[in-house]
Structure 1
Amino acid sequence: MRNLKRALAAVFVLLLAAVVLFFVLENQQTVALTLFGWVAPQVPVAVVVLAALIIGLAVGPLLGAYGVQRSKRKIRASAREAALSGR
Structure 2
Amino acid sequence: MRNLKKLLLVLIFLAVAAVVLVFVLENQQAVALSALGWSTPSLPVSVFVLAGVLAGMLIGPLFGWYIALSSKHRWRKQLRAKARAEQRATLAAASTDSKATVAAPQQAVVK
1:1-87 equivalence runs, <5 A: 1-86=1-86, 87=88
How many residue pairs were aligned? Answer: 87
- Measure the CA separation in 2 of the matches of 1:11 and 1:82: 51
- With a CA cutoff of 8 Å and minimum separation of 6, indicate the structure with the bigger relative contact order: 1
CA-based RMSD of the aligned residues comes to: 1.2
- Local SS of the residue matching 1:25: helix
Deviation (angstroms), 1:9: 1.9
Normalized against structure 2, the TM-score is what? 0.72
- Measure the CA separation in 2 of the matches of 1:85 and 1:3: 54
Deviation (angstroms), 1:10: 1.6
Deviation (angstroms), 1:5: 2.3
Point out 4+ residue stretches in structure 1 off by more than 6 angstroms.
none
Normalized against structure 1, the TM-score is what? 0.91
Gaps of 5+ in 2: 89-111
Gaps of 5+ in 1: none
The amino acid across from 1:14 in the alignment is L
